[in-house]
Amino acid sequence: MYIPTISDMFEAHDRIRPFIHRTPVMTSGYINSLVGAELFFKCENLQKAGAFKARGASNAVFGLSDEQAARGVATHSSGNHGTCLSYAAGRRGIPCTVVMPRSAPQAKKDAVRGYGGTVVECEPSTSSREAVFAEVVAKSGAEFVHPYNDARVIAGQATCSRELLEQVDNLDAVIAPIGGGGMVSGACLTLSNLAPRIKVYAAEPEQADDAYRSFKAGHIIADDAPNTVADGLKVPLKELTWHFVKRNVSDIVTASEDEIIEAMKLIWKRAKLVMEPSSAVPLAAILKNKSIFAGKRVGIIITGGNVDLDTLPWQ
Amino acid sequence: MYIPTISDMFEAHDRIRPFIHRTPVMTSGYINSLVGAELFFKCENLQKAGAFKARGASNAVFGLSDEQAARGVATHSSGNHGTCLSYAAGRRGIPCTVVMPRSAPQAKKDAVRGYGGTVVECEPSTSSREAVFAEVVAKSGAEFVHPYNDARVIAGQATCSRELLEQVDNLDAVIAPIGGGGMVSGACLTLSNLAPRIKVYAAEPEQADDAYRSFKAGHIIADDAPNTVADGLKVPLKELTWHFVKRNVSDIVTASEDEIIEAMKLIWKRAKLVMEPSSAVPLAAILKNKSIFAGKRVGIIITGGNVDLDTLPWQ
């Protein structure tokens, strides 16, 4: 298992800079007064394709040799990784195939196709997904880019924390939502090397708290079919992300579904930012654990903005 | 009638700078491709108190002598001006009274009170509003700050276009929604003096097109109880705003209710910005009048972000 290094992050940043936004950092005096801390929202909802995953996907795609690239890339994802891999492949002009369950939202399928990628549908079961995906790769020889358990992807996500360090002075902590752990691992990689004084926290829904339980148990625990409004956070940790989480994360904090929805509404209302339920989990967890963050300067990764406006969780 | 000058705008900017945000400018490649023009969104939805009106209100409040200020300020508004005047008065620590109809949304009353202002309710009729307001002013000796027909307010709103000039090179046009015409007049004041090459357009709902009809007729025409989802744009032009509109506006373009709602959704979805229906009118009108703006670099004032998330117009 290859563990990405800080030089991989620097190389990744040089490689992907033409294809990603240096996203802005926003603040809300009102939210700060509620929390009793200074929060700095790193707006990856404003990233290309609407999510931080454009960073890791671009690093994987543009790191391929021309020969590898010619065969294209493939992944299985019904979320932002599929969309972002399609975006990156489109920018390089190579094929991208995304395997997703027949049952996935039409909007997600359209998003992949909108950037030029191909959607191959499978049944909503792990066995079907693996069988269909194996066939795709066997036929095309496409390069598999895992949504998070991939050194190239983690090195790409790590560029987000580097920008945050350049944009905000004297941070005490950085917090990001945790699903598979790609963004959190990227934060660990960058901060443990460039600013070890800054603590890394992860935030997770109580109803999908496998990372929290893994962290406490000291080994990976996977949830059995978790159900949360923060649908980007249902996936389990893998070897590579667990490596960073167990070594570099200070703590994992959680919040209930209602608290996540309230925090989401609060950011929409006060920061005027359209973001996904997953992106609200850190604020929800901070509001629930004020003592940990009181008086601190805290960077919060707003991970994505791809939400269905017709089915908002508070309606 | 005193017409504000470009030096009033410069003075206003120096005066209010500590109390307002220099709001960011955002772009969307996808929306540009739809329109066939380069659009630059000036994000006043991220302004203090959630609307550009914090500029004019702050200029009026902080321009008062200590003696005047001690008696406080007053206005009648069930929209952003009341909230923003309360914000500015709160920053100076002086009383603010806002007269609004009993029937005004609770959220608007709460917003005024949230910044320390006092809400005095009247019946939803012009006669009641004027009677109640006259009584408030007679009692308190408070300074009346009109929502837009006020030189101090227009000079304050004009600072928005000055920032836009500093933030975006080689603009061909600037477009803003028009209700009473305060923001549009501010744009006219700044651009006609500092960048006369840049055309000023105004955008209005078809269902509240009094400014459009006034512009074509050559004299002020007021609507009789207009009804539009862009509720910030129901008010008529007044002498001072008409002065700027008739002299400096190149054209007024309109859009239907459905087109406004679609444009609003488009900005929420693609630019990830929470903004009011009124702020979507310019994009709706541009999409409807592409030929006017084709290939141009166009600044769009996103006027405010104070929207009720529980009653979104597409739901």
E strand spans, A25-66: 25-26, 38-43
Are B117 and B24 part of one and the same domain?
A: no
- Residue B261: which residues within 8 A CB-CB, separation 6 or more? B229, B277, B280, B313, B314
| Residue B61 binned pLDDT confidence (cut-offs 50, 70, 90) | very high
Does A254 have pLDDT greater than 90?
yes
B52-69 average pLDDT score: 98
Q: What is the mean pLDDT of chain B?
A: 96
Given an 8 Å threshold on Cβ–Cβ distance, is B315 in contact with A310? yes
In a domain, A312, yes or no: no
| A interface test, pick of B269, B272, B273 with most A CB neighbours within 10 Å | B272
In a domain, A149, yes or no: no
DSSP state of B236: P
Q: What is the mean pLDDT of chain A?
A: 96
- Residue A51: which residues within 8 A CB-CB, separation 6 or more? A44, A45, A80, A83, A84, A303, A304, A305, A306
- Per-residue pLDDT at A125: 87
- Per-residue pLDDT at A33: 96
Does B66 have pLDDT greater than 90?
yes
What residue type is assigned to position B264 of the chain? M
Buried b / exposed e across A149-176, counting CB within 10 Å, b at 16+? bbbbbbbbbbbbbbbbbeebeebebbbb
Q: Which of B256, B254, B268 is nearest to B228 (CA)?
A: B256
Are B240 and B92 part of one and the same domain?
A: no
Are A283 and A201 part of one and the same domain?
A: yes
Task: List B residues 241-270 in contact with A (Cβ-Cβ < 8 A).
Answer: 265, 268-269
Q: Which of B285, B232, B279, B230 is nearest to B26 (CA)?
A: B279
Chain B residue with minimal CA distance to A271?
B46
- Per-residue pLDDT at B267: 97
Are A47 and A101 part of one and the same domain?
A: no
| Residue B188 binned pLDDT confidence (cut-offs 50, 70, 90) | very high
| Tens-place pLDDT, residues B146-171 | 999 999 999 999 999 999 999 999 99
Are B61 and B46 part of one and the same domain?
A: no
Describe the strand order of the beta sheet including A73-76 as a list of residue ranges. A118-122, A96-101, A73-76, A143-144
- Per-residue pLDDT at A223: 82
| Residue B181 binned pLDDT confidence (cut-offs 50, 70, 90) | very high
B197-216 average pLDDT score: 97
- Per-residue pLDDT at B58: 98
Longest dimension (CA), chain B: 56
In a domain, A309, yes or no: no
Does B78 have pLDDT greater than 90?
no
Does B224 have pLDDT greater than 90?
no
- Per-residue pLDDT at A315: 80
| Residue A126 binned pLDDT confidence (cut-offs 50, 70, 90) | confident
| Tens-place pLDDT, residues A154-185 | 999 999 999 999 999 999 999 999 999 999 99
CA distances to A1, A83, A180, B132, B240 from B76, rounded to whole Å, are 67, 48, 53, 10, 18
Final residue before a domain boundary, out of A144, A171, A190: A144
| Tens-place pLDDT, residues B270-304 | 999 999 999 999 999 999 999 999 999 999 999 99
- Per-residue pLDDT at B126: 85
Chain A residue with minimal CA distance to B262?
A309
In a domain, B90, yes or no: yes
Are B128 and B81 part of one and the same domain?
A: yes
C-alpha span between A216 and A50 (Å, rounded): 32
Are A34 and A83 part of one and the same domain?
A: no
- Residues in chain A closer than 8 A to B46 (CB atoms): 26, 272
A46 close to B (CB below 8 A): yes
Final residue before a domain boundary, out of A119, A144, A169: A144
Are A122 and A162 part of one and the same domain?
A: no
- Per-residue pLDDT at B225: 83
Q: Which of B145, B99, B105, B147 is nearest to B122 (CA)?
A: B99
Q: CA end-to-end span of chain A, whole Å? A: 45
- Per-residue pLDDT at B97: 98
Q: What is the CATH number of the domain that holds B269?
A: 3.40.50.1100
Q: Which of B274, B61, B45 is nearest to B177 (CA)?
A: B45
B129-155 average pLDDT score: 96
Are A67 and A137 part of one and the same domain?
A: yes
Number of domains in chain A: 2
Range of the structural domain that residue B204 is part of: 6-51+154-302
Final residue before a domain boundary, out of B88, B119, B144: B144
Top pLDDT among A216 and A125 is at A216
Q: Are the C-beta atoms of residues A78 and A109 closer than 8 Å to each other?
A: no
DSSP state of A44: G
In a domain, B85, yes or no: yes
- Residues in chain B closer than 8 A to A305 (CB atoms): 272
- Residue B98: which residues within 8 A CB-CB, separation 6 or more? B74, B75, B76, B77, B82, B85, B86, B112, B117, B118, B119, B120
In a domain, B312, yes or no: no
Are B89 and B189 part of one and the same domain?
A: no
**Residue A93, Ramachandran bin (φ over 0: left; ψ between -120 and 50: alpha; else beta):** left
| Residue A225 binned pLDDT confidence (cut-offs 50, 70, 90) | confident
In a domain, B314, yes or no: no
Tokens 């020889």, residue located: A141
In a domain, B149, yes or no: no
Are B208 and B81 part of one and the same domain?
A: no
Are A176 and A127 part of one and the same domain?
A: no
